[in-house]
Chain A
Amino acid sequence: MVRFILRRLLQVIPVFIGTTLLVYYMVFALPGDPIAALFGDRQPPQAVIDTLRSQYHLDEPFFVQYGLFLKNLFTFNLGNDFTGQPIAASLARVFPVTAMLAVEALAIQAIFGVAFGVFAGLRRGGWFDSTVLVASLVVIAVPTFVLGFVFQLVFGVQLGWAKPTVGANADWGSLLLPAVVLGLVSFAYVLRLTRASVSENMNADYVRTATAKGLSRPRVVLAHILRNSLIPVVTYLGANLGGLMGGAIVTEGIFNVPGVGNKLYQAVLRTEGPTIVSIVSVLVLVFVVSNLLVDLLYAWLDPRIRYDQ
């Protein structure tokens, strides 16, 4: 097991270099001059432009720029963005917010998705199952921005149950509404996945044997149906955690959440190579770690999976 984890962590190196190189190159290749964009309509003196260029190493060839970025990264000095703010500090501001949002959304998906999925799967074709299926289809079909604005209007403004926007001081309570919106779509998928898995496992021979042993119904469901049904669901949730950490640009935008999505969006608009690649680097780590967690969860859920060999 230790060997497996070590091997997986070593895989981070090529994945990390590959993704950052690619993203850095794409930012480099974007048309338009970031310095000119910085000044808007005004035309700064050539001397200022040259100073800024050399300050941000924009006059260097691509590989030198990339090399400098790597050097900064490993000395934990990510440098400044074009507004003069240290990048490390702004990352330290946005990532916790998005992490809180992601965890909250993930919890909503996992708890409600699995619970509803189990009930629907156990009584396939019943009224609960039919209702939930139609509702989840509606949630999947409606785009996030519609859902976001409707929730903001109804729950935030009209009913006043939650703060309509988050603003600078994000906490668990104020992030609840965007987390619900963010979690809803995946909730629908988790529900359907669990439902399909449960109704398949329900007819498994070992479930019948468990019943024949004289176990009570709740015990059969929890020990023999649920655990076996969670395996595909865990895969989906794990992949989803990475996606959620990448920041939800639309949801964060609607609810004014100062998170990764917002930051990344602004950085792309300003063609800020170092900021974009710094965010991507953290995201690569998040993806690798969450995938590793999924694999370990797998082995725990299904003892037939062994990574030592």
Chain B
Amino acid sequence: MTTPDVSIGEARANGSKPLLEIRDLAITFKTGGGEVQAVRNAHLTIMPGETVAIVGESGSGKSTTALAAIGLLPNNGSVSGGQILLDGEDISHASEQRMIELRGNTIGMVPQDPMSNLNPVWKIGYQVRETLRANGRPSGPEDIAKVLSEAGLPDAKRRANQYPHEFSGGMRQRALIAIGLSCQPRLLIADEPTSALDVTVQRQILDHLDTMTTELGTSVLLITHDLGLAAERANKVVVMYQGRVVEAGPSLELLRNPQHPYTKRLVESAPSLASRRIQAAKEQGVETADMLAPAAEAAVADNVLQIQDLRKVYKLRQGLGKATDFAAVDGVSFDVKRGTTTAIVGESGSGKSTVAKMVLQLEKPTDGKILFDGVDTSLLKAGDLFKFRRRVQPIFQDPYGSLDPMYNIYRTIEEPLRVHKIGDAASREKKVRELLDQVALPQSAMQRYPNELSGGQRQRVAIARALALDPEVIICDEAVSALDVLVQAQVLNLLADLQSNLGLTYLFITHDLAVVRQIADHVCVMEKGRLVETGTTDEVFEAPKQEYTRALLNAIPGAKLMLPPEVA
């Protein structure tokens, strides 16, 4: 199990030398609380032309290891032991001058977040040109356009004259790939290159990256938290956990036969297609088909939300006072049955979040009706709206942004109770304690502030806050998208438990079909503002009617990999 250098034997056998070899690497960070070892005894070997993936959750040291290889550790971090051999040269303590020579030319990088990795004040072409120039390559307009179009950017000449904010996320990532590969480096470090993108775009970008690196013979060090993606894209996978390499080996072998307990957990919780609805699986064997039938009939009559022909039109300015209509949501109708989970899926820009905002009464529909418990919500007066908000609560995507950093956890959860004037101070405190129990947070968390909690814990706080008013419907807008796989699985389990205990209804907005499979009863697929397909989760997953739905399903990383049934 702890023989990570699988390829050393192979390498000697076929006579070639490894391009990058990391031996016994230790990385230490100096923090206010003393020295922290972020990485210890890391081993890794990349042969020329090979793709190796490092998999692990955030904080596992996977990005730190990769950054050390290109000499970009943060100022308070340093290599405290071991070697990083690039073509036999130890670069772990190389001079800044030597690293500047290597960066771009020999080691390229494609960073994680396309939104923040391009300088907003320079044109895309300029940012490509300075790369070419710094590495002594021809940098005329033709060369720039060539680099960009090779990375799959259409109309590259015109695009080079645009600024990053005029690009979509996918296009920006293509530009970053263009920059990373522009000087034909021998090693490309791709740090979660697509985790910020939609699944369909993700697939295109990764396919393109594959093609390019194969053509150029570039070795790739791929960093990801998604085991499915790693197994699909890499020859070898290295699993890191708490700063250590816990397992390494050829991708499929490792996926089929994980040895280390952490790898086993990762394989189990990988949100691949094989996973079934959590709750349904739990209830299996308890309820018979006879028991289910009347319940289903009762549910048909009880639609807590009815969306009828909903439209939302935005005016887009086109300069000089001209405006065109843009239908973000165009004639969407569906029902949400009480006590069930309905998922709305689609890419960004499909209008799914706009639907959620209209249901929450945060945006006014241009046309159409939203019936809550049979009452048209557009007719609600201020007082009724206040009561409505008590019954319908949101959980948002970003647990870092949606909690007030100046409020401690107690105040955050208690605030809705206070706003709605429920109980006195003592009963409110009792309620907060109950809520913390429900979301499995310790009572001691009450006095802490959001920045003292992990992402998963913050999302639990957001759930507790949403539950404070005993709502009937909870609208989760990408509520688990920002979380690591393992934490994601925990939060999804929590939501499923709360649903069966409290009879909650969920409207789940997500771009992640794997998550949908785990949590939803019904699926609505949206494309460009329209509802293109609806049905039960099993229907949609097993027999998708629309080409678009099929494309979304195919884009799930690891979808094509066959997992053995015992881990699925």
Q: Which residues of A contact B (CB under 8 A)?
A: 203-217, 219, 223-224, 227-228, 301-304, 308-309
CB proximity of B148 to chain A, nearest CB, Å: 15
Instruction: Given the known inter-chain contacts A206-B118, A304-B120, please indicate yes or no for A219 contacting B111, CB distance below 8 A.
Output: no
Comparing B98-106, B293-301, B559-567, the segment that makes contact with chain A is B98-106
Would you call A302 and B120 a contact (CB within 8 A)? yes
Instruction: Given the known inter-chain contacts A303-B163, A304-B120, A304-B165, please indicate yes or no for A205 contacting B105, CB distance below 8 A.
Output: no
Comparing B128-136, B367-375, B408-416, the segment that makes contact with chain A is B128-136
In chain B between 303 and 325, which residues have their CB closer than 8 angstroms to a CB of chain A? 317, 319
When distances are taken between beta carbons in the complex, the residues of chain B under 8 Å from A301 are 121
Closest to B113 in A: A205
Instruction: Given the known inter-chain contacts A212-B72, A212-B103, A213-B103, please indicate yes or no for A227 contacting B130, CB distance below 8 A.
Output: no
The answer, yes or no, to whether B439 is at the interface (CB within 8 Å) is no
Would you call B72 and A211 a contact (CB within 8 A)? yes
Q: Which residues of B contact A (CB under 8 A)?
A: 70, 72, 74, 96, 100-105, 108-109, 111-113, 116-123, 130-131, 134-135, 163, 165, 176, 179-180, 183, 317, 319
> Most chain-B Cβ atoms within 10 A of its Cβ — which of A206, A223, A303?
A206
When distances are taken between beta carbons in the complex, the residues of chain B under 8 Å from A207 are 119
CA distance A264 to B111 in the complex (A): 58
Closest to B112 in A: A205
> Most chain-B Cβ atoms within 10 A of its Cβ — which of A213, A215, A224, A302?
A213
Known: A214-B102, A302-B120. 4 other contacts (CB 8 A): A206-B118, A208-B117, A212-B104, A223-B130
> Most chain-A Cβ atoms within 10 A of its Cβ — which of B120, B183, B317?
B120
Q: Which of B120, B176, B183 contacts A209 (CB 8 A)?
A: B176
Closest to B70 in A: A212
Would you call A205 and B121 a contact (CB within 8 A)? no
Instruction: Given the known inter-chain contacts A219-B134, A223-B122, please indicate yes or no for A214 contacting B113, CB distance below 8 A.
Output: no
CA distance A224 to B134 in the complex (A): 14
Would you call A214 and B319 a contact (CB within 8 A)? no
Q: Which of A204, A206, A213, A302 contacts B130 (CB 8 A)?
A: A213
Q: Closest 7 CB pairs between A and B?
A: A214-B104, A214-B103, A212-B109, A205-B116, A213-B131, A206-B119, A209-B117
CB proximity of A71 to chain B, nearest CB, Å: 37
CB proximity of B504 to chain A, nearest CB, Å: 38
CB proximity of B472 to chain A, nearest CB, Å: 41
Closest to A215 in B: B134
Closest to B165 in A: A304
CB proximity of B438 to chain A, nearest CB, Å: 37
CA distance A211 to B109 in the complex (A): 10
Would you call B116 and A216 a contact (CB within 8 A)? no
CB proximity of B10 to chain A, nearest CB, Å: 30
When distances are taken between beta carbons in the complex, the residues of chain B under 8 Å from A309 are 317, 319
When distances are taken between beta carbons in the complex, the residues of chain B under 8 Å from A213 are 103-104, 130-131, 134-135, 179
Closest to B107 in A: A212
CA distance A150 to B74 in the complex (A): 45
Interface of chain B, helix or strand or loop or mixed?
loop
Q: Which of A212, A217, A308 contacts B111 (CB 8 A)?
A: A212
When distances are taken between beta carbons in the complex, the residues of chain B under 8 Å from A223 are 119, 122, 130
When distances are taken between beta carbons in the complex, the residues of chain A under 8 Å from B176 are 209
CB proximity of B195 to chain A, nearest CB, Å: 14
A-B contact pairs, 8 of them (CB 8 A): A205-B111, A209-B179, A211-B72, A211-B103, A213-B131, A219-B134, A302-B121, A304-B163
Closest to B130 in A: A215
Q: Which of A214, A216, A227, A303 contacts B183 (CB 8 A)?
A: A214
Would you call B116 and A206 a contact (CB within 8 A)? yes
When distances are taken between beta carbons in the complex, the residues of chain A under 8 Å from B105 are 214
CB proximity of A132 to chain B, nearest CB, Å: 19
Closest to A216 in B: B100
CB proximity of B77 to chain A, nearest CB, Å: 13
When distances are taken between beta carbons in the complex, the residues of chain A under 8 Å from B179 are 209, 213
Would you call B111 and A209 a contact (CB within 8 A)? yes
CB proximity of B192 to chain A, nearest CB, Å: 12
Would you call A210 and B72 a contact (CB within 8 A)? no
Would you call B165 and A219 a contact (CB within 8 A)? no
When distances are taken between beta carbons in the complex, the residues of chain A under 8 Å from B74 are 203
Closest to A205 in B: B116
When distances are taken between beta carbons in the complex, the residues of chain B under 8 Å from A210 are 119, 130
CA distance A206 to B130 in the complex (A): 13
When distances are taken between beta carbons in the complex, the residues of chain B under 8 Å from A224 are 119
CB proximity of A221 to chain B, nearest CB, Å: 13
Would you call B165 and A303 a contact (CB within 8 A)? yes
CA distance A80 to B243 in the complex (A): 82
CB proximity of B179 to chain A, nearest CB, Å: 6
CA distance A204 to B121 in the complex (A): 13
CA distance A217 to B100 in the complex (A): 9
CB proximity of A303 to chain B, nearest CB, Å: 5
When distances are taken between beta carbons in the complex, the residues of chain B under 8 Å from A217 are 96, 100
CB proximity of A234 to chain B, nearest CB, Å: 13
Would you call B134 and A205 a contact (CB within 8 A)? no
CA distance A213 to B110 in the complex (A): 10
CA distance A304 to B119 in the complex (A): 11
> Most chain-B Cβ atoms within 10 A of its Cβ — which of A207, A208, A209, A224?
A209
Would you call B165 and A205 a contact (CB within 8 A)? no
Closest to B120 in A: A304
Would you call B121 and A227 a contact (CB within 8 A)? yes
Closest to A203 in B: B74
CB proximity of A212 to chain B, nearest CB, Å: 4
CB proximity of B66 to chain A, nearest CB, Å: 11
CA distance A213 to B108 in the complex (A): 7
Would you call A205 and B163 a contact (CB within 8 A)? no
Closest to B115 in A: A205
When distances are taken between beta carbons in the complex, the residues of chain A under 8 Å from B119 are 206-207, 210, 223-224, 228
Closest to B135 in A: A214
CA distance A302 to B118 in the complex (A): 13
CA distance A308 to B258 in the complex (A): 58
When distances are taken between beta carbons in the complex, the residues of chain A under 8 Å from B116 are 204-206
CA distance A227 to B163 in the complex (A): 15
When distances are taken between beta carbons in the complex, the residues of chain A under 8 Å from B113 are 205
CA distance A204 to B111 in the complex (A): 12
When distances are taken between beta carbons in the complex, the residues of chain B under 8 Å from A304 are 120, 163, 165
CA distance A210 to B135 in the complex (A): 12
Instruction: Given the known inter-chain contacts A209-B176, A211-B72, A303-B163, please indicate yes or no for A308 contacting B319, CB distance below 8 A.
Output: yes
Closest to B318 in A: A309
CA distance A128 to B27 in the complex (A): 29
CA distance A213 to B180 in the complex (A): 7
When distances are taken between beta carbons in the complex, the residues of chain A under 8 Å from B100 are 214-217
When distances are taken between beta carbons in the complex, the residues of chain B under 8 Å from A228 are 119-121
Would you call A214 and B96 a contact (CB within 8 A)? no
CB proximity of B75 to chain A, nearest CB, Å: 9
CB proximity of A216 to chain B, nearest CB, Å: 6
CB proximity of B314 to chain A, nearest CB, Å: 14
When distances are taken between beta carbons in the complex, the residues of chain B under 8 Å from A209 are 109, 111, 117-118, 176, 179
Closest to B122 in A: A223
Would you call B131 and A214 a contact (CB within 8 A)? yes
Closest to A211 in B: B72
CB proximity of A191 to chain B, nearest CB, Å: 22
CA distance A223 to B133 in the complex (A): 14
> Most chain-B Cβ atoms within 10 A of its Cβ — which of A216, A223, A227, A303?
A303
